[in-house]
Amino acid sequence: MLKISNLHKSYAIGDSSLHVLKGINLDVENGEMVAIMGSSGSGKSTLLNIIGMLDEADSGDYILDGLPIKNLTEKKAAVYRNKFLGFIFQSFNLINYKNALENVALPLYYQGLKRKERQKQGKFHLEKVGLLDWAHHLPKELSGGQKQRVAIARALAANPKLLLADEPTGALDTTTSYEIMEFIQQLNDEGKTILIVTHEEDIAEMCKRIVRLRDGVIMEDKPVNQVRASQYV
Amino acid sequence: MFDIDLWREIFQSINKNRTRSLLSGLTVAFAILLFTILFGIVNGLINTFEEGFKDDAINNIVIYPGETSKAYKGLQAGRRIQLKNEDHNYILDEFGDKVEFMTSRVMKNVTATFRNEKNNYTIRAIHPDNLFIEQNEIKEGRYINQRDINDRTKVVIIGRMVEEDLFTKTTAVGKYLNLSGIQYKVVGVYTDEGGDDEERMLYIPITTAQLVYGNNDYVDMMYMTYNPEMDYDAALAFGVKMEKKLKNRFLIAPTDQRGIRVQNNAEGAKAVNAISFGLGLMALVIGFGTLIAGIVGISNMMIFIVKERTKEIGIRKALGAQPRQIISIIMIESIIITAIAGYVGLLIGVYVIKFSTPILADYFIKDPGVSNALVIGATLTLIAAGTLAGYLPAKRASRIKPIVALRDD
């Protein structure tokens, strides 16, 4: 599904440059659920952003589902993001003047689907996250957990191959966090490949594999016994 | 390329962000409103101004004789100066190339009678050039011509108001009019933009008047227009020189202000031209000023809007929006707001001008108004500016890496 080899990335800070990723090698198979861990500054978010084509690597190879991701034009990157990737953010990133259904349907708009079809699929995914009754509410009328579920529905709407979550529970309390994780585990059970960036051990334990980063290199890459979130809910 | 979904997106964005839309709309509407009103008022001033100078040719010079106020060369003060035909010819001989048109005048008050209608009028006995000096328009028939002068014909050209006063049931041309006991044939009717009084004059050949009213060659005053190819300074110099020569001819002291007066419109014309130019410049400055204020306003709004929407743009890009789609959504929104707001500003401006016209008339502002083409041009300029002002930030926004936009909390 995902093959990364010898990936480097540095950021210019004033005159000097900060080497954030120093040769990352990572393979992710179909159906995996991987936690990327590390303290802040370890490069974990940068890695996720490069995987998500939100950012570009300086050197190294990145192959997603057989497609080399390199020197993409803005247009091509947009098409790939839309087709292959679903994003879940810590701060939800819903568009505040669009209601839940419109938010969920937005990726479908960029896929060029007809309005009717968008509405239908949007409703289907909202139902999947249990928020069909909230379809016409604005984000500000939803709780944090509900917002994240709308965001998950939106990430799923385009039927992506890979789901990328950047601290998906970072803005939520423990109970809600576990509810969200339970749902993400469910998606993985259904066969979705999922990458989660987190710095919380308990969240990482709920994945099937943990990759630990420190100072831009992978320190540890091990499979774990998945803790089911359902037991806490 | 009509994409209903794109328009739906845009109208949702406008509608859901009303404060933002209203504020940017207000900037544009206000700019166009000010533009319309200020331009209208300046136009009104120019109208008033031009109307005030419609009567006579702008390059007029008038020569009035008077009484000397100073003793000079053995002659006493208080001597009456009388102009004659020979003085007319003297000026033409002396300054022929500087004179465009010239007429001498004899004035006479008469009672005009036609059938049962009767009224008092002033006769101006003139040369044919008077037509151009007074800027009369011939409505019917003809004007005084050189043959009338040579033959001392008893013909009269009457003003439009005279015809209305006296010839109530018939037309005037061809009829005989009794002027204080002498029959004149009406050969023409003229109009004059100088007002009703100017259209209540009777024009007869000067030679006829000299024969009938005194059998002499006296002239009451002389009118001329200077050669319009001369600039103001040359025209002023011409007036001064002519006054000097005439004083010399009539033995009037050079410092005597009363013996003979040469009133030169070039002095006024210079001021008129300066004021006209000034008003035009004012209109231009106001127009550009409001437009630039509007453009700056829109540009600010667009930069602010793009800034405010940075995160939304990041989200859209993460979800698969292409740069072109980002640019078009922002730009079309800006164009729609500018166009609608510009139209509203234009409507309000036009109505404000329309309803305040009677009030403004008291302040020497006549028929204020702006041509549609001008205001539409201004609105289009603003739309173009809004487009350009929107394009640059939108272009930049479309290039923002989504990760940067999303980090911007």
Residue B323 to residue A98, Cβ atoms within 8 A: no
In a domain, B68, yes or no: no
In a domain, B264, yes or no: no
> Is the pLDDT score of A110 beyond 70?
yes
Residue A82 to residue B311, Cβ atoms within 8 A: no
Whether B317 and chain A come into contact, CB under 8 Å, resolves to: yes
Range of the domain at B302: 4-52+272-407
Which of A165, A122, A189 is closest to A36 using CA atoms? A165
For residue A53, the number of C-alpha atoms closer than 13 Å in the C-beta half-sphere is 31
- One domain for residues B112 and B200: yes
Which of A151, A141, A162 is closest to A106 using CA atoms? A151
Residue B315 to residue A98, Cβ atoms within 8 A: no
Fold of A2-232: Rossmann fold (3.40.50)
Whether B108 and chain A come into contact, CB under 8 Å, resolves to: no
| Residue ranges of chain A whose CB lies within 8 Å of a chain B CB | 49, 52, 54-55, 74-75, 78-79, 81-83, 87, 89, 91, 93-95, 97-98, 102, 106-107, 109-111, 115, 154, 158
Three-state secondary structure call for residue B284: helix
Q: Could you read off the pLDDT of A45-90 as tens digits, one per residue?
A: 889 889 988 888 899 999 998 889 888 888 888 889 898 999 998 8
C-alpha distances in angstroms, A6 versus A57, A61, A209, B139, B314?
10, 7, 20, 98, 28
Q: Report how many domains make up chain B.
A: 2
Asked if A220 contacts A34 with a C-beta cutoff of 8 angstroms, the reply is no
- One domain for residues B170 and B316: no
> Is the pLDDT score of A125 beyond 90?
yes
- One domain for residues B239 and B293: no
Within 8 A of B8 by CB-CB distance, chain A residues are 115
Rounded Cα distance between B78 and B93, Å, is: 29
Query: DSSP label at A175?
Result: H
C-alpha distances in angstroms, B323 versus A110, A170, B345?
12, 30, 33
Rounded Cα distance between A171 and B355, Å, is: 60
- One domain for residues B190 and B125: yes
Within 8 A of A78 by CB-CB distance, chain B residues are 317, 320-323
Across B137-151, b (16+ Cβ under 10 Å) vs e yields: eebbbebbeeebbee
Distance from CA of B321 to the nearest CA of A (A): 6
- One domain for residues B210 and B349: no
Three-state secondary structure call for residue B148: helix
- Please state the ipTM of this predicted complex: 0.89
In the listed set B215, B249, B283, which residue is the last one of a domain according to the structure? Answer: B249
CA B136-B137-B142 angle, 5° bins: 100
Query: DSSP label at B185?
Result: E
Predicted local distance difference test score (pLDDT) of residue A62: 93
% of chain A exceeding 90 in pLDDT: 56
Neighbours of B190 (CB within 10 A): 24
Within 8 A of A84 by CB-CB distance, chain B residues are none
Predicted local distance difference test score (pLDDT) of residue B173: 92
- One domain for residues B233 and B332: no
In a domain, B90, yes or no: yes
- One domain for residues B99 and B238: yes
Predicted local distance difference test score (pLDDT) of residue B144: 94
Q: Read out DSSP for B31-81?
A: HHHHHHHHHHHHHHHHHHHHHTT-SS-TTEEEEEE-B--S-BTTBPTTPBP
Confidence of residue A185 (pLDDT cuts 50, 70, 90): very high
In a domain, B62, yes or no: no
> Is the pLDDT score of A190 beyond 60?
yes
- One domain for residues B236 and B121: yes
Whether B409 and chain A come into contact, CB under 8 Å, resolves to: yes
Residue A74 to residue B16, Cβ atoms within 8 A: no
Within 8 A of B318 by CB-CB distance, chain A residues are 52, 54, 81, 87, 93
Residue A74 to residue B12, Cβ atoms within 8 A: no
Which residues make beta-bridge pairs with A20?
Answer: none
Within 8 A of A55 by CB-CB distance, chain B residues are 401, 403
- One domain for residues B131 and B197: yes
Residue A91 to residue B409, Cβ atoms within 8 A: yes
Q: What is the pLDDT along chain B (409 residues), one digit of tens a residue?
A: 457 778 888 888 888 788 888 888 888 888 888 888 888 888 888 777 777 665 566 788 999 999 999 999 888 889 999 999 999 999 999 998 899 999 999 999 999 999 888 999 999 999 999 999 888 899 999 999 999 999 999 999 999 999 999 998 888 899 999 998 999 999 999 998 877 888 999 999 999 999 998 889 999 999 999 988 888 888 889 999 999 999 999 999 999 988 999 988 877 777 777 887 888 888 788 878 887 888 788 788 788 888 888 888 888 988 888 888 888 888 888 888 888 888 888 888 888 888 877 777 677 667 777 777 877 787 788 778 778 877 888 888 788 777 776 765 5
Distance from CA of A156 to the nearest CA of B (A): 11
End-to-end CA separation in angstroms for chain B: 35
In a domain, B316, yes or no: yes
Predicted local distance difference test score (pLDDT) of residue B1: 45
Average pLDDT over residues A187-200: 92
Rounded Cα distance between B114 and A216, Å, is: 115
Residue B317 to residue A97, Cβ atoms within 8 A: no
Average pLDDT of the residues of chain A: 90
Residue B399 to residue A154, Cβ atoms within 8 A: no
Widest CA span of chain B, in angstroms?
A: 108
Whether B407 and chain A come into contact, CB under 8 Å, resolves to: no
In a domain, B61, yes or no: no
Confidence of residue A27 (pLDDT cuts 50, 70, 90): very high
Neighbours of B93 (CB within 10 A): 9
- One domain for residues B279 and B234: no
- One domain for residues B106 and B193: yes
In a domain, B254, yes or no: no
Which of B61, B66, B137 is closest to B104 using CA atoms? B61
Predicted local distance difference test score (pLDDT) of residue B407: 64
Predicted local distance difference test score (pLDDT) of residue B65: 93
Task: Enter the pTM of the model.
Answer: 0.67
Whether B315 and chain A come into contact, CB under 8 Å, resolves to: yes
- One domain for residues B210 and B98: yes
**Which residue carries 């007029």 as its tokens?**
B60
> In a mutagenesis test of the B interface, which of A46, A94, A97 is the best target, namely the one with the most B β-carbons within 10 Å?
A97
Residue A75 to residue B17, Cβ atoms within 8 A: no
Residue A74 to residue B406, Cβ atoms within 8 A: no
Structure tokens belonging to residue B186 = 């009406």
Listed by start position, the domains of chain A span 2-232
Rounded Cα distance between A54 and A47, Å, is: 10
Q: Could you read off the pLDDT of B271-291 as tens digits, one per residue?
A: 777 887 888 888 788 878 887
